[in-house]
Copies of this chain bind each other. A is one copy, B any other.
Amino acid sequence: MTAEIITIGDEILIGQIVDSNSAFIAQNLNKIGISVHQITSIEDDKSHILQTLEEASVRADVIIITGGLGPTNDDVTKNTLCEYFDDILVNNEEVLEHVEELFAKHISTPISNLNREQALVPSKAHILFNKYGTAPGLWLKKGEKVFIAMPGVPFEMKMMMELEVIPKLKKEFKRSFIFHKTIKTYGLGESAIALRIEEWERNLPVSIKLAYLPALGKVRLRLSGKGENEEELKLAIEHEFEKIYPLLEDIISDYSGDDDDITLTINKLLVAKKCFLAVAESCTGGEIAAEFTANPGASNCFKGGTVTYATQSKLDILGVPAGLIEKHSVVSAEVCEAMAKNVKKMFKSDYALATTGNAGPTKGDSDAEVGTVYISLATPEGVFSKKFILGKSREQVVKKAVAKAFEMLLKELNGK
């Protein structure tokens, strides 16, 4: 069973927003055995929408549309669907009641006719309840093809997928199974990995696909399969995993297969050791702490940290000796190690990461070249540092520094 996703809204086509909805929808369709054949983003334009609906319905069984259901004039999806299904808009009492209740309880401005018109829906549509917003979702059929329209506001769409769309798809269709297993590696490029596993890859059964997903110093390898028998499919993929594992053992950072973020892997290792982390960030500006605490359960292994952005704050807050900064400059291994040691003591943690560097675009309180970053790791046994040159783009420098910091900690926790 295949689906296509159509996202409607000029804001995607002018690059004002990134389309994150499609990834969420695709993930959740995959989980119930529906693969996504194509994702198409188009503007709020009636004729383009009609053409895209027609093309998608030739290729896929389920067409999922997001966006263009709002109350304002630039939203044309509902009227366009009416034209496509040769339908008219009718008032839906239940939706109207919900919109009125939302306004009465949660919205400070008075309800208007524009809001009430959200209750106008195509007469042939089954309504998908929007618990968190005023635009209802729509489920329409043309022959055997299903068309599902959802609002584009990410949170509303996500809740509607979870509470309405996925359960209804599961109930109405017999689907096959899709299974992915992801192996995360670090320290080797994709072509070097490809050479190592060349023979294994050549012998991979046609039913299992291998994909390489390269990113900053990390390559994820994904094994994917689709089949009618869930157990057989999983076994086949696990079987291939057991063959690839010894070939890559020294560079695998995680093979739980659930595509965990590196922070989650670290979280689990710290909790298993009953250890806590603290961080002292300068050039990474809080991003290490923010990424680490994005996982629920961070409180079981994370004490906290400091963002000492200004040089003076490194003295005042972290107690880095002024003489050390004067002697080695604020961007140096010595200062970074002092930050790590001191933050570990302050927060009474077992491990501590520290960063100091120059993310650019101009030089800061030191003469270090833009892109120079020191990362230090204090452990129960001592402290050590690495120096990195991470390019000229501020965003990239921060991103890479955060990745490197987590890699250093992961290696240490893995005893490598």
Contacts and interface: CB of A to CB of B under 8 A. Distances in A.
A211 interface: yes
Interface string A284-319: 111111101110101100111111111011001100
Nearest to A114: B191
A299 B309 contact: yes
A72 interface: yes
Nearest to A51: B59
Interface stretch (A81-89, A139-147, A163-171, A358-366): A358-366
A17 interface: yes
Interface in A306-352: 306-310, 312-313, 316-317, 346-348
Contacts of A359: 296
Interface string A160-185: 00000000000000000010101000
Interface residues of A: mostly helix, strand, loop or mixed? mixed
Given A18-B23, A292-B285, A305-B307, A112 B13 contact: no
Interface stretch (A237-245, A375-383, A389-397, A404-412): A389-397
Complex copy number for this chain: 2
Nearest to A153: B214
A38 B40 contact: yes
Given A115-B191, A348-B316, A293 B285 contact: yes
Interface stretch (A24-32, A119-127, A227-235): A24-32
Interface string A209-227: 1111111000000101000
A215 to B, nearest CB: 8
Contact of A313 (B16, B112, B190, B303): B303
Contact of A347 (B41, B115, B317): B317
A272 interface: no
A3 B27 CA distance: 28
A365 B178 CA distance: 40
Interface string A22-53: 11111110100001111111111000100010
A27 B16 CA distance: 7
A190 to B, nearest CB: 6
B316 A213 contact: no
B313 A11 contact: no
Contacts of A11: 211, 213, 222
A16 B213 contact: yes
A71 B14 contact: no
Given A134-B191, A299-B309, 9 more contacts: A15-B23, A16-B23, A16-B180, A16-B213, A72-B212, A286-B305, A293-B309, A303-B309, A306-B307
13 contacts: A13-B38, A14-B180, A16-B213, A71-B191, A72-B212, A285-B292, A286-B287, A286-B288, A289-B289, A303-B310, A303-B313, A304-B309, A316-B347
10 closest Cβ pairs, A-B complex = A285-B293, A286-B289, A15-B27, A15-B26, A286-B286, A286-B290, A39-B41, A15-B23, A114-B191, A287-B290
Interface of A: 10-20, 22-28, 30, 35-44, 48, 52, 55, 70-75, 107, 109, 112, 114-115, 134, 153, 155, 178, 180, 182, 188-192, 194-195, 201, 209-215, 222, 224, 259, 276, 279, 281, 284-290, 292-294, 296, 298-299, 302-310, 312-313, 316-317, 346-348, 359-362, 364-365, 391, 393-396, 398
